[in-house]
Chain A
């Protein structure tokens, strides 16, 4: 049985080749194919890094990036502030990368978990690094200024979105029971401080300092500062205009009095 197959298959294949029904694809076809796959892979890697770094930038911009330092509440707030749409896109692009990579020894020799986890780790590490550079800051400045094609509205929408209980701004008045900040949108916000208020980095928060505040609404109007983090100059994502609120100390005192228990 094997013998009859032997001749039949060999003869049939040879006949097809000789008749010209089957043609060998040229080498350049495979070189071009490999090149195209490599290009797609590079584009997906760049897209993944872009998405990861943009997510980091958004979190830094709204201050949520810094709040896990304030404990469990900070971690919960951080998770709630993650731009999940971008993270889902990032997951999809890493999955696409993995599907393409699975054809190559470097990927399929490793269990999927390690291969995907490794790809995610690399993309996120590079993403954090890029998120700390001025890349997105410049794009945001262009989006808010002269205009940025294609992604301009995305920058404006996602970067202006307010996160609950997280505030960034400049300290404009320090009072006995709290302090006031002037946020990027020009609003004056008052926070009550207590012995439970946590400080990240330093306890010395002076007027003019740029801070991130994690807050908790206590009663109807009282806002308690759960944590305060003083920002270093290089951690500034966007320029905070120096406060020019008139009689700010008086206003702050009044706001804190009205919030007092």
Chain B
């Protein structure tokens, strides 16, 4: 059973094998907790929200198309739950209309240099999470910490791939600025 792919296990759950859902929870709870802890930085109820993510996933499992990636589907549910948690608290601004998603952009992928320094950026991100807006914090967490690719992030956030590129680039610039303010080079 443990050798099966996520999608194969989901098929079993859809066929009525509820216990198999536990395997999926085990596989993803660490990732979901990490995503929640980083994206919902400073929020107390990360564990409750993650639990709610899995419960929602179970309730809606019949809507999952096993030809698609289970991880993207689960991350999408998590994204919705986390956004709801942020909205509930009302501490951070969430734009209703995002101009970045309105206009076409050239796909601005991060450079190879950025990839080499991925670990470094991830460490910077850990230290400056509270300095970034959720709009930029989330794609950075998904890219540098969850190590998802542009296409997966675009599917999770329901944005054009080029907009993901723009957010990552701007988010990284903000991150550098925030980091330099926190740890000025003497």
Show the binding face of A for B, using Cβ within 8 Å.
2, 5-6, 8-10, 12-14, 16-18, 22-27, 29-30, 33, 102-103, 105, 108-114
Evaluate contact between B21 and A17: CB separation under 8 angstroms.
Answer: yes
Shortest beta-carbon contacts, A-B, top 10: A30-B63, A108-B158, A111-B104, A112-B102, A27-B62, A10-B25, A13-B54, A9-B29, A14-B22, A5-B33
B182 an interface residue at 8 Å Cβ cutoff? no
Question: Which residues of chain B are near A13, meaning CB under 8 Å?
Answer: 21-22, 25, 51, 54-55, 58
A18 — nearest CB in chain B belongs to which residue?
B18
**Can you offer 7 A-B residue contacts whose CB atoms are under 8 A?**
A10-B25, A13-B22, A13-B54, A24-B59, A108-B158, A109-B154, A112-B101
Question: In the bound complex, what is the Cα–Cα distance between A218 and B158 (angstroms)?
Answer: 58
Evaluate contact between B55 and A22: CB separation under 8 angstroms.
Answer: yes
Q: How far is the CB of A6 from chain B (nearest CB, A)?
A: 5
Evaluate contact between A9 and B59: CB separation under 8 angstroms.
Answer: no
A110 — nearest CB in chain B belongs to which residue?
B160
Question: In the bound complex, what is the Cα–Cα distance between A12 and B160 (angstroms)?
Answer: 36
B60 an interface residue at 8 Å Cβ cutoff? yes
A23-B59 in contact given A2-B33, A6-B29 (Cβ < 8 Å):
yes
B105 an interface residue at 8 Å Cβ cutoff? yes
Question: In the bound complex, what is the Cα–Cα distance between A23 and B25 (angstroms)?
Answer: 16
Which of B62, B104, B160 has a CB less than 8 Å from the CB of A25? B62
Evaluate contact between A24 and B154: CB separation under 8 angstroms.
Answer: no
Question: In the bound complex, what is the Cα–Cα distance between A18 and B51 (angstroms)?
Answer: 15
Q: How far is the CB of A92 from chain B (nearest CB, A)?
A: 15
Question: Which residues of chain B are near A24, meaning CB under 8 Å?
Answer: 13, 18, 58-59, 61-62
Evaluate contact between B58 and A22: CB separation under 8 angstroms.
Answer: yes
Q: How far is the CB of B185 from chain A (nearest CB, A)?
A: 33
Evaluate contact between A8 and B47: CB separation under 8 angstroms.
Answer: yes
Evaluate contact between A9 and B154: CB separation under 8 angstroms.
Answer: no
Question: In the bound complex, what is the Cα–Cα distance between A21 and B34 (angstroms)?
Answer: 27
Question: In the bound complex, what is the Cα–Cα distance between A9 and B25 (angstroms)?
Answer: 8
Q: How far is the CB of A110 from chain B (nearest CB, A)?
A: 6
Question: In the bound complex, what is the Cα–Cα distance between A179 and B119 (angstroms)?
Answer: 83
B36 — nearest CB in chain A belongs to which residue?
A5
Question: Which residues of chain B are near A103, meaning CB under 8 Å?
Answer: 158
Most buried by B among A13, A108, A109: A13
Which of A9, A102, A112 has a CB less than 8 Å from the CB of B50? A9
Question: Which residues of chain A are near B161, meaning CB under 8 Å?
Answer: 109
Question: In the bound complex, what is the Cα–Cα distance between A27 and B159 (angstroms)?
Answer: 27
Question: Which residues of chain A are near B47, meaning CB under 8 Å?
Answer: 5, 8-9
Question: Which residues of chain B are near A111, meaning CB under 8 Å?
Answer: 101-105, 160, 162-163
Proximity string of chain B (149-169) to chain A, C-beta cutoff 8 Å, 1 when within and 0 when not: 000001100111111000000
Question: In the bound complex, what is the Cα–Cα distance between A12 and B54 (angstroms)?
Answer: 10
A25-B103 in contact given A6-B29, A6-B30, A109-B161 (Cβ < 8 Å):
no
